[in-house]
Chain A
Amino acid sequence: MKPAAFDYVRAETLEEALSVLASEGGDAQIIAGGQSLMAMLNTRLANPKTLIDIMRLKELDRIDATPAAVAVGAGVRQRALLGWPPLAEKLSLVALALPWTGHAQTRSRGTICGSIAHADPSAEMPLALLALGGEVHLRSAKRHRKLPAGEFFTGMMSTARSADEMIEAVSFPTLGGARCAFREVARRHGDFAIVACAAVADKAGVRFAVGGVADMAAVRDWPRLDGSALDDALNAFAHELDARDDVHATARYRRDLVRLIGRDLVREVLQ
């Protein structure tokens, strides 16, 4: 449970971090709060040759709010966003989901963008970003690009980020204060989700997202559904997620949770 050897780079400017990423590409990895990456290093699931620490870059520690979206920089810790006064009003889904991300002892260090970059299938921030239709702001020494969350996440702990890119920020749309709901079932508060669900009302109906079941969070858009039509849609979705039995829960239990929580949350936001 000790990391293998690596060089440690303490970046003082964003350009420095990007130039090391460009020159070392896949052998270098960004470390921000480190609350997922350090566990990967300790268990040697990650073996970078170089670690680039970006937490001394003041320019990344910023939350930029416009009426349409809130952009959260790569240096913003989870605790800082949770304590941001307008959070509940601007991003009620994030305000509901973020207390479920890890524990107080990890939220104090872990970042929002780090959780997105790690792309754990049961993590709350990727789920919230997908459910809200947010964007990931990627940056390399050569270019900027923004990817919709639906294109960024490509599978279990895998994303469309290139080796020379880092996440500079993620933006969560405010959706004009659309009604949102969130619920999670875990063995213990703060542990990995067995099932986490989010619902967001929109003009056409509802968007429903599920994490913890498939190899990445999944989303469905439905018109205003109720009664047996809603039950049928949820049942079909639960089966499409291709749940598997594991040490935490059976596939059948996960499908039950998706159906039960889904019905509650969809009704709640469509009220």
Chain B
Amino acid sequence: MTRLQAGERHRIRFTLNGAAAHGEAEPRMLLTDFLRQQIGATGTHVGCEHGVCGACTVTVDGMIARACLTLAVQIEGCDIRTVEGLAPAPGRLSILQEAFKRHHALQCGFCTAGILMSLDHFLRERLRPTEAEIRDLLSGHLCRCTGYTPIIRAALDAADLLANHRHAEKTDA
């Protein structure tokens, strides 16, 4: 049994976007604040802080999760992925990110980090999603700029490209 005292900072080791990382947090610190303030990974946005808006969505050991409903101390030893890990290289965007750019799927960008994380996770599992499935997934996010339609277009376009990409990879091999 591990007991972490209130009011004291505790060392937390985890993996962030494939690289070993560590920081310190009190038990009450949310994963959102830990990532942004202790680690300096400010790509994960803080919106409602009670699990409604989806802006802080990340993955924890491959599970899609609201970082504001996760404590920093809960991620000890876990594999965390955030929006900073989506681009394949500096200066290059992922297929999904490119599709967002092409379809104007963002305006202010506040909700975008979370929506990208949800869609990236979903499109890894679901090769040819329907529009209804994407709408259902997006019900876990709030966007007040776009009206969602460009986001859905971008997601469907990215899904097509990803499916072709995977198909091409298979036939090349």
Chain A residues with CB under 8 Å of chain B are 1-13, 16, 20, 34-35, 38-39, 41-43, 49, 51, 53, 55, 77, 79, 102-106, 108-109, 188-190
Nearest-neighbour CB distance to chain B for A224, whole angstroms, equals 36
B1 to A16, Cβ gap below 8 A?
yes
Check if A108 sits within 8 Å of B63, measured CB to CB.
yes
Contact of B30 among A13, A42, A49, A106 (CB under 8 A): A42
A38/B69 contact (C-beta < 8 A), A7-B5, A7-B6, A106-B140 known: yes
Nearest-neighbour CB distance to chain A for B173, whole angstroms, equals: 29
Is B66 at the interface (CB under 8 A from chain A)? yes
Q: Which residue of A lies closest to B56 (CB)?
A: A105
Chain A, interface SS category: loop
* Docked pose: A258 CA to B63 CA in angstroms: 36
Do A103 and B71 touch across chains, with their CB atoms under 8 A apart?
no
Quick one: which of B34-67 are within 8 Å of A by CB?
48-51, 54, 57, 60, 63-66
Which residues of B lie under 8 Å from residue A39 when comparing CB positions? 50-51, 69
Given A7-B27, A106-B66, 10 new contacts (CB under 8 A): A1-B50, A2-B33, A10-B76, A16-B1, A35-B51, A43-B50, A105-B65, A105-B141, A188-B139, A189-B139
Which residue of chain A is the closest to B59 with respect to CB atoms? A108
Given contacts A2-B49, A105-B54, A108-B63, contact A10 B2 (CB under 8 A): yes
Q: Mark B3-23, 1 if CB is under 8 A from A, else 0.
A: 111110000000000000000
Q: How far is the CA of A249 from the CA of B74 in the complex (A)?
A: 38
Complex Cα distance, B69 from A4, in Å, reads 14
A109 to B62, CA, bound (A): 11
**Candidates B50, B73, B139; contact of A103 at CB < 8 Å:** B139
One of B50, B54, B65 near A109 (C-beta < 8 A): B65
Cβ–Cβ < 8 Å partners of A102 in chain B: 140
B57 proximity list for chain A (CB < 8 A) = 105
B contacts with A, residue count (CB < 8 A): 37
Q: How far is the CB of B106 from chain A (nearest CB, A)?
A: 18
Interchain CB contact under 8 A, B140 and A51: no
Contact present for B7 and A5 (CB under 8 Å): yes
Chain A nearest CB, measured from B53 CB (Å): 11
> Once the chains are docked, how many angstroms separate the CA of A9 from the CA of B3?
4
Q: Is B112 an interface residue (CB 8 A)?
A: no
List residues of B whose CB falls within 8 A of some A CB: 1-7, 26-28, 30, 33, 48-51, 54, 57, 60, 63-66, 68-71, 73-74, 76, 118, 122, 136-137, 139-141
- Give the total number of A-B pairs whose CB atoms are below 8 A apart: 114
Which of B48, B71, B140 has a CB less than 8 Å from the CB of A104? B140
Output the nearest chain B residue to A189 by Cβ-Cβ distance.
Answer: B139
**Residues of chain A contacted by B141 (CB below 8 angstroms):** 105
A64–B160 CA distance with the chains assembled, in angstroms: 39
Residue ID in chain A nearest B122 by CB atoms: A104
Q: B139 to A108, Cβ gap below 8 A? A: no
For this complex, 21 residue pairs linking A to B, each with C-beta atoms less than 8 Å apart, are A1-B49, A2-B49, A5-B27, A8-B71, A9-B3, A10-B2, A13-B1, A20-B1, A34-B71, A35-B51, A35-B66, A38-B50, A38-B70, A42-B30, A104-B64, A104-B118, A105-B140, A106-B69, A109-B69, A189-B136, A190-B139
In the complex, what distance in Å separates the CA atom of A109 from the CA atom of B27? 19
The 6 residue pairs across chains A and B that have the minimum distance between CB atoms: A103-B140, A1-B49, A8-B27, A38-B69, A5-B6, A105-B140
Inter-chain CA distance A190–B64, complex, in Å, is 16
Alpha-carbon separation in the docked complex, A7 to B5 (Å): 5
Write out the residue numbers on chain B whose beta carbons fall within 8 Å of the beta carbon of A103: 54, 137, 139-140
Residues from chain B with a CB closer than 8 A to the CB of A104 are 64, 118, 122, 136-137, 140
Bound-state Cα–Cα, A6 to B27, Å? 7
Shortest Cβ distance from A2 into chain B, in angstroms?
A: 7
A15: shortest Cβ distance to chain B, in Å?
9
Judging by beta carbons under 8 Å apart, are A108 and B64 in contact?
yes
If the complex has contacts A39-B51, A51-B27, are A9 and B1 also in contact, measured as CB distance less than 8 A?
yes
Give which listed residue, A5, A11, A38, A190, contacts B68 with CB less than 8 A. Answer: A38
Instruction: Report the separation of the CA atoms of residues A212 and B124 in the bound assembly, to the nearest whole angstrom.
Output: 35
Smallest beta-carbon distance A103→chain B, Å: 3
